Amino acid sequence: MSQSGKLIIFSAPSGAGKTTIVHHLLDTFPDFLEFSVSACSRPKRKEETEGSDYYFLSVEEFKHKIAMDEFVEWEEVYTDNYYGTLKAEIERIWKKGKHVIFDVDVNGGLNLKNIFREKALAVFVMPPSVSHLEERLRKRETETPESIARRMGKAGMEMDKSSAFDRIVLNDTLEHAFLEAQKITREFLHIASSK
């Protein structure tokens, strides 16, 4: 892969608000950032769009792309539930002269940081508490009780890895998290403040 732009990686346990923060940054810095669409092998949710939220692949298609070395990083998050970053996606964004912003799980975020090192900034979005996280997942109404239990089981392990990230943003209020994420992004990409 040709190296040109930078990468900003947002990771967090499910329900911590990383997706909301990433969308805010995309709206705030449209000339600098573009979202890296991950590939996954899970079924598409009704509110999701192919090529915008994810590239939805069958398990067989995903495994074929692994075999063809088309991923920068990938992971089997749950059995036959694969997520990964396609090399072509990063190249596509860098060719446009933009930096890549990621919304990925904790292991994916650390994998990307290890690959791209100083070209990448890894940011962990910390929820105020584990109970707060569970409450957010229940409010989504897209999760089954089983999937909530599974995600909550994973959340503790993910929060234990927060110290491996470059920066931690506490999402106690969205306003605070937005301002902190903007500041971190400006510093890393050397964007002058509009104030």
Asked if residue 174 belongs to a domain, the reply is yes
Q: Determine how β-strand 99-104 pairs with β-strand 167-170.
A: unpaired
Render pLDDT for 177-186 as a digit per residue (tens, 0 to 9). Answer: 999 999 999 9
The pLDDT value given to residue 45: 86
In the chain, % of residues over pLDDT 70 = 97
The pLDDT value given to residue 194: 63
Res. 117: pLDDT tops 90 = yes
pLDDT band for position 149 (cuts 50, 70, 90): confident
The pLDDT value given to residue 79: 86
pLDDT band for position 68 (cuts 50, 70, 90): very high
The pLDDT value given to residue 193: 77
* Residues 135, 127 contacting (CB under 8 angstroms): no
Asked if residue 195 belongs to a domain, the reply is no
What is the domain-level CATH number for residue 155? 3.40.50.300
Provide the residue range defining the domain that includes 88. Answer: 7-189
Distance CA 191, CA 122 (A): 18
Distance CA 184, CA 192 (A): 12
Asked if residue 67 belongs to a domain, the reply is yes
The pLDDT value given to residue 137: 79
Distance CA 80, CA 69 (A): 18
Asked if residue 98 belongs to a domain, the reply is yes
The pLDDT value given to residue 3: 61
Distance CA 130, CA 4 (A): 38
Render pLDDT for 121-146 as a digit per residue (tens, 0 to 9). Answer: 999 999 887 787 888 878 877 778 88
Q: Which two tokens stand for residue 146?
A: 């089983």
Asked if residue 149 belongs to a domain, the reply is yes
Q: Which two tokens stand for residue 94?
A: 């860098």
Residue ranges in the chain assigned as alpha helix (H): 18-28, 59-67, 87-95, 106-116, 130-140, 145-160, 174-189
Asked if residue 2 belongs to a domain, the reply is no
Res. 100: pLDDT tops 70 = yes
The pLDDT value given to residue 29: 97
Q: Cβ contacts of residue 170 below 8 Å, gap of 6+?
A: 126, 128, 176, 177, 180
Res. 195: pLDDT tops 60 = no
The pLDDT value given to residue 152: 83
Quote the number of domains for the chain: 1
pLDDT band for position 105 (cuts 50, 70, 90): confident
Q: Which two tokens stand for residue 84?
A: 């990964």
